[in-house]
Amino acid sequence: MNKPILVVSTGAGISAESGIKTFRDADGLWENYPVMQVASADGFRRDPELVHHFYNERRKALIHALPNDAHRALVDLEKDYDVYVITQNVDDLHERAGQKNVLHLHGELMKIRSVYDPDYIEDLDIDHLETTPATRGRNGDPMRPHIVFFQEPVPNIEKAVELVQRADIFVVIGTSLVVYPAAGLLHYVRPGVPVYYIDPNPADIPSSAGVHIIRATATEGMKILQRELA
């Protein structure tokens, strides 16, 4: 028999307990860095050096981080559900926890891609994580972080929408739900499908009537969710 489909949409909050900074909390990344300079297409054109530096710093933080109990709890759910994780995160903690199906909406820190060809993507070598405007791919192209900058389209959004439309259960974890189109995924859930939102400081959702809010950190909230689903 087919397992029910459980679709999870994760944001920076799921990695907070792994020591990765979120963007908009107090002392979050966007409080300390000018977002449009380090994370927009215009910013990259104006000062690529600064943008490479910003992502080099993020990579250094990531290699010292480990998946936490929330990432692992999502892997455990694979026993009873077909689990699909749609993440806004650029870290690889879901994959390192052993998650089978992970769709990245905003790119991946440990990858770089050609400035000319968005489909030419390379994995970074763990011993050579620093990139600069002089970094070249194996094909000779100048390379940039494999990150979806503000002002750029989100290539995986259609795949994400299709997954959400198939969900039998939809779970949102650790996102402020301010960045679109990711924040809009909630609107594609079929009527009657249970929706859970785990976040210690959840956003106000206009259509939150049917949403079960679990006001807790990701690791605590996942324990509560596991009990609810049992």
CB of 101 to ligand OAD, least distance (A): 19
**Count of helices and strands (H, E) across the chain:** 9, 9
CB of 149 to ligand OAD, least distance (A): 7
CB of 13 to ligand OAD, least distance (A): 2
Assess whether 64 carries a catalytic annotation.
no
Q: Which of 52, 94, 106, 146 is catalytic?
A: 106
CB 112 within 8 A of CB 130: no
**Cβ atoms within 10 Å, residue 122:** 16
State which residue, 82 or 212, has the beta carbon closest to ligand OAD: 212
CB of 112 to ligand OAD, least distance (A): 16
State which residue, 59 or 106, has the beta carbon closest to ligand OAD: 106
Residues that bind ligand OAD (CB under 6 A): 11-13, 16-17, 22-25, 28, 39, 88, 106, 148, 174-176, 178-179, 199-201, 217-218
Cβ neighbours for 69, distance < 8 A, ≥ 6 positions apart: 17, 219, 222, 223
State which residue, 65 or 168, has the beta carbon closest to ligand OAD: 65
State which residue, 71 or 81, has the beta carbon closest to ligand OAD: 71
The DSSP secondary-structure symbol of 136 reads: B
Q: Provide the H-helix boundaries in 131-174.
A: 157-166
| Distance (Å, whole) CA 110 – CA 63 | 9
The DSSP annotation for 174-206 comes to S--S-STTGGGGGGGSPTT--EEEE-SSPPP-T
Q: Which residues are catalytic?
A: 106
